[in-house]
Amino acid sequence: MAEGQLDQAAVEAVLKDFRDPETGRSALQLGQISDIQLQDKKLSLNLALTTYSAPLWEETRSDLVQLLQGQLPALEEVQVNLRTHERPPEKIGEIGLAAKSVIAVGSGKGGVGKSTMATSIALGLKRAGCKVGLMDADVYGPSVPHLLGVNERPQAIDRKLQPIVVDGMPVMSMGFLVPAGEAIVWRGPMLHGAITQFLRDTNWGELDYLIIDMPPGTGDIALTLSQLLPLTGAVVVCTPQDVALLDAVKAIAMFNKVNIPILGVVENMSYFECPDCGKRYDIFGSGGARRRAEEMNVPFLGEVPINMQIRIRGDEGKTAGNFDDATAARYLESICYRMVKNIAAKRSMEPKMPSLSILD
């Protein structure tokens, strides 16, 4: 191509290397770039992205505009119109779950806000435009129903449990099936059976993400999940103090042992900022999770300070309201964004290949 040449072929030559954030493959070759119009040094085109990458849509559009302007300086104007690209999930694992990514949210110990973070990640992805399901696998202490303010009982239709739908998001928890206050005393095989049933026998529909709230500690549910499904990865929640970090390290080691990649670490209750004077108090220490993540070469997804309103909304079953509060939402949305960004970056390095049907 001659220097300064601007035509359809030059535009397509630049576009061919632009990658779809979900698959890491060429968006042009996947048919996600269309209606390319070049006239008087003005370019417009349609970029279709899946709901899976919804948190990255605006950034992806901006990246494409910058790429075109950088590679084709003769362009005076670039307009990229976002569209939705339909790409249904394939069924995964021996149980045939129709989800593109399954993400476990765990912790080395209880009391660090793991369930709040799992619920918030699910809600954040849902609000960004993704198709999300939330499964509460914390069988001994199911908190998700309380955090969402629901206590309905799932119905079975055609041998499939119908999840409780909360603002368009399917949710399943042992808390829907067992009376409040009743203790569950189960051995490993019963836990395995319950988790299998929640995954296999629940009508989840087609999902971009299934978020699983794990029990605290390093029990055998992670092993069960690793045997049933190819998990995209795990998010580990901890607090800044050393005693919590020691347990977080054990949780990371547990996921590594069962070959579940670590998507990142979240530091909850990072600090407290006094609403009256604005002074910061590092009640549990400061930055411990970030430092430990760097030492272990795992991503740090972000911190969430001690926030009274997050606690109050959780107690009232109004966790979704945190996303209407700018003070809390910016931390939670940032964690969702970084998690999806990390997944997209990994797929860019290891593009997901299309599946080929085998003909008899």
100 and 217 share a domain?
Answer: yes
49 and 101 share a domain?
Answer: no
359 in a domain, yes or no? no
Containing domain of residue 41, as a range? Answer: 8-84
Mean pLDDT for the stretch of residues 331-337:
96
78 and 214 share a domain?
Answer: no
171 in a domain, yes or no? yes
- Predicted TM-score (pTM) of this structure: 0.91
Determine the distance from the C-alpha atom of residue 139 to the mean position of all C-alpha atoms in its chain, rounded to a whole number: 21
Residues 30 and 18 sit within 8 Å (Cβ to Cβ): no
355 in a domain, yes or no? no
pLDDT at 278 over 90: no
Mean pLDDT for the stretch of residues 338-360:
76
Mean pLDDT for the stretch of residues 121-147:
93
Q: Select from 79, 71, 86, 82 the least CA-distant residue to 30.
A: 86
- Least confident interval from 200-204, 224-228, 326-330: 224-228
75 and 99 share a domain?
Answer: no
Cα–Cα distance between 335 and 213 in angstroms, integer?
Answer: 16
Give the domain CATH number at 345: 3.40.50.300
Strands 300-306, 262-273: parallel, antiparallel or unpaired by DSSP?
parallel
334 and 298 share a domain?
Answer: yes
Residues 258 and 222 sit within 8 Å (Cβ to Cβ): yes
Phi, psi of 242 (to 5 degrees): -60, -40
Comparing 242 with 135, the larger pLDDT belongs to 135
The residue out of 84, 119, 134 marking a domain boundary is 84
42 and 115 share a domain?
Answer: no
17 and 102 share a domain?
Answer: no
41 and 181 share a domain?
Answer: no
pLDDT at 326 over 70: yes
302 in a domain, yes or no? yes
